[in-house]
Amino acid sequence: MENDDVIKGGEFLIKETKAKNVFIPEEFDEEQQMIGDMCLEFITKEILPNINRIETLEDGYTASLLEKAGELGLLGITIPEEFGGFGKSFVTGMLATERLGGAYSFAVSISAHTGIGTLPILYYGNQHQKNKYIPKLVSGKWKASYCLTEPGAGSDANSGKTKAVLSDDGKYYLITGQKMWITNAGFSDVFTVFAKIDDDKSLTAFIVEKSFGGITIIEEEKKMGIKGSSTCQVFFNECKVPVENLLGDRQGGFKIALNILNVGRIKLAGAAIGASKRVINHSIKYASEREQFGKTISNYGAIKYKLAEQAIRVYASNSAIYRCSQNVEDARESMIAGGMDKETATLEGVRQFAAEAAILKVHGSEVLDYVADEGVQIYGGMGYSAEAPMERAYRDARINRIFEGTNEINRLLIVDSLLKKEMKGELDLMKSAQAVAKELMTIPDFSNVNNGVFTKAHDQIKRLKKVILMILGSAVQKFMLNLDEEQEIIMNISDMIIELYVAESILLRVSKLELIEKKNISEQIDIMNVYLYDSTDKINKYGRDALNSFVEGDELRMMQMGLKRFTKQESFNVKEARRRIANHLIKEQKYCY
């Protein structure tokens, strides 16, 4: 890739990405596909036939499945070989996460173990800590949990009250406090625990083995969904943690927590898409079998709409996830080439794309909710039956909007991390916003009308970026440092950014497909056009809401005209496009994009 082509985190808003430089799921190589297939086979053989044993939390069962996953290498796909892993790329890890996302509540158990359970030690542990714990976690002999949340400290995680006090002989920290909602706690052997030493303002992380004593695990929470995922409160009562088990730096815990969550957010999006694909496959099959009024319901336009829309939204999220994952991988590789160690490079790569990670988390989790909700609807009464797969999928989906940072917190983060980059001089948003403000004063140039489908879509994306820059720039100017008091406006701007990023990701994917694929991609073009059509209207609506909330008079009129001009679009027969997409799904009898 040439230097000018390298897109840094957040730059999607101000720069054009070239299709040839994005990674698309159609480019997985043979080895990656093999790993993906291995994950699917594991679900088919080990999870689906035993779903009731998992869901009833049969003693030791999920733990034994994690051990089996460990034997197959599924717990160490991206872990360096020196610790028993396969040492594969971030993108390959994402593919495995996506595939395993279809494992209902086991998906949460495995991703908590390999993600928030294992990664704090891998990324922040010293060599001794990594040597001691990572091979055990990769093999599945030991299981891991992450203890950040407390009854009084959820979204505001740094406000936790758990305390760590050095023992008189200076050999131990005595940890006392209460953690709640801890995934895998029912069977974990090792916990990353966040606590404050003495009167520190910020958290410190500790590696805590269950065998250290002073730990009480309270019975399993009764939850709405993911019933097979263990979730407990964990009490620490003067738990004796050797000083050498302090992880990273004193008061460095909050940074660890945030950086681990960045990785978790991208992964959650991948898992959500894996779960969505399973729901779509069930939806297609049911719609093709269930007959009413003498025809299978898949013949009805109302049902075709649902099937197509499920597939369009999943395609959208999927395109964005792998685009971003490859960006992270590229950033990581270039830092490794510059001498950085692999783990720091992965963290730094993800940190650079923190805004995109939050976008993916919100979009992926909301797509899954939509897909599961419409899945229930396609099943009708059977969708409400605990005997059919939709009811579980619907209940399991909901948690994704809550953990790894609620979607509200992630929406705030999107704007916050872009503005922080601007303040650090890493992203020149305001200069681009000023250029748009200037353009508003000029008469639009309609002479350069091009009818090519991709040229039109590229032009539309460019205009959507201008809308966002116009509104974001204006909001920053008006509220300055008080912008965070205007959450409704931030939510509007975030929603616009999410739609833009995802719509552009589809455009880039389909443009690249056109470059590399010889086969017909007319339905992918349909998907692109429908998504762009909807996202343009959504961006118009969010933009209007934002402008009406803080701009007045002549300035409002001028900006409303700009909004109209930048979100203008041609008529397009969305009904026929969705029908073509749905017909293809019905013909293939599975999600096939």
Would you name the residues annotated as active-site residues? 404
Six token digits for residue 450? 């091009």
> What is the nearest approach in angstroms of ligand FAD to the Cβ of residue 310?
25
SS3 297: helix
> What is the nearest approach in angstroms of ligand FAD to the Cβ of residue 355?
17
Stretch in the footprint of ligand FAD (CB under 6 A) among 143-151, 381-389, 419-427, 558-566: 143-151
Six token digits for residue 26? 């159609």
Task: Tell me which of 38, 165, 217, 402 binds ligand FAD, using CB under 6 A.
Answer: 402
Q: Give which of 172, 145, 149, 171 is closest to 162, Cα–Cα.
A: 149
Q: Which is nearer to ligand FAD, 147 or 415 (CB)?
A: 147
CA distance 334 to 9: 14
Q: Tell me the β-bridge partners of 540.
A: none
CA distance 66 to 72: 10
144 near ligand FAD, rule: CB under 6 A = no
Stretch in the footprint of ligand FAD (CB under 6 A) among 78-86, 130-138, 402-410, 518-526: 402-410
Compute the C-alpha angle 498/501/503, nearest 5°: 100
CA distances to 154, 415, 496 from 487, in Å: 19, 10, 14
> What is the nearest approach in angstroms of ligand FAD to the Cβ of residue 194?
8
365 near ligand FAD, rule: CB under 6 A = no
SS3 534: helix
CA distance 446 to 450: 10
Task: Tell me which of 149, 288, 494, 567 binds ligand FAD, using CB under 6 A.
Answer: 149
Task: Tell me which of 47, 148, 367, 475 binds ligand FAD, using CB under 6 A.
Answer: 148
Task: Tell me which of 183, 283, 474, 492 binds ligand FAD, using CB under 6 A.
Answer: 183
208 near ligand FAD, rule: CB under 6 A = no
> What is the nearest approach in angstroms of ligand FAD to the Cβ of residue 407?
7
Task: Tell me which of 16, 200, 220, 408 binds ligand FAD, using CB under 6 A.
Answer: 408
Is 417 in contact with 10 (CB distance < 8 Å)?
yes
Six token digits for residue 548? 């009406």
Q: Which is nearer to ligand FAD, 7 or 208 (CB)?
A: 208
Q: Which is nearer to ligand FAD, 107 or 510 (CB)?
A: 107
CA distance 246 to 172: 10
Q: Which is nearer to ligand FAD, 181 or 542 (CB)?
A: 181
User: What residue number has its CB nearest to ligand FAD?
Assistant: 154
**x-marked contacts with ligand FAD along 229-268 as a string, rule CB under 6 A:** --x-------------------------------------
Task: Tell me which of 287, 409, 433, 493 binds ligand FAD, using CB under 6 A.
Answer: 409
Instruction: Judge residue 112's burial from the number of C-beta atoms within 10 Å of its C-beta, 0-12 exposed, 13-18 middle, 19 or more buried.
Output: buried
> What is the nearest approach in angstroms of ligand FAD to the Cβ of residue 148?
3
Task: Tell me which of 146, 379, 394, 593 binds ligand FAD, using CB under 6 A.
Answer: 146
Q: For ligand FAD, how many residues bind (rule: CB under 6 A)?
A: 19
> What is the nearest approach in angstroms of ligand FAD to the Cβ of residue 549?
17
Q: Give which of 169, 162, 237 is closest to 206, Cα–Cα.
A: 162
CA distance 393 to 375: 9
399 near ligand FAD, rule: CB under 6 A = yes
97 near ligand FAD, rule: CB under 6 A = no
> What is the nearest approach in angstroms of ligand FAD to the Cβ of residue 498?
16
181 near ligand FAD, rule: CB under 6 A = yes
> What is the nearest approach in angstroms of ligand FAD to the Cβ of residue 202?
16
Q: Which is nearer to ligand FAD, 261 or 586 (CB)?
A: 261
Is 162 in contact with 230 (CB distance < 8 Å)?
no
> What is the nearest approach in angstroms of ligand FAD to the Cβ of residue 159?
10
Q: Enumerate residues 475-534 that contact ligand FAD by CB under 6 A.
A: 487
Cα 461 versus chain centre, distance: 22
Q: Give which of 38, 44, 591 is closest to 367, Cα–Cα.
A: 591
> What is the nearest approach in angstroms of ligand FAD to the Cβ of residue 257?
8
154 near ligand FAD, rule: CB under 6 A = yes
Stretch in the footprint of ligand FAD (CB under 6 A) among 142-150, 166-174, 346-354, 470-478: 142-150
Six token digits for residue 135? 């091979």
SS3 568: coil
Task: Tell me which of 202, 334, 377, 406 binds ligand FAD, using CB under 6 A.
Answer: 406
CA torsion sign, 509 to 515 to 517 to 520?
Answer: positive
112 near ligand FAD, rule: CB under 6 A = yes
CA distance 93 to 557: 49
- Long-range contacts from 461-465, C-beta under 8 angstroms, 24+ separation: 461/500, 461/503, 461/504, 461/507, 461/532, 462/16, 463/565, 463/566, 463/567, 463/568, 464/496, 464/499, 464/500, 464/503, 464/535, 464/536, 464/539, 464/566, 464/567, 465/13, 465/14, 465/500
Residue 16 DSSP symbol: P
SS3 365: helix
Instruction: Let me know how many helices (H) and strands (E) the chain has, helices first.
Output: 19, 10
Task: Tell me which of 83, 212, 403, 591 binds ligand FAD, using CB under 6 A.
Answer: 403
Q: Which is nearer to ligand FAD, 208 or 399 (CB)?
A: 399
Using CB under 6 A, list all residues that contact ligand FAD: 112, 146-149, 154-155, 181-183, 223, 231, 399, 402-403, 406, 408-409, 487
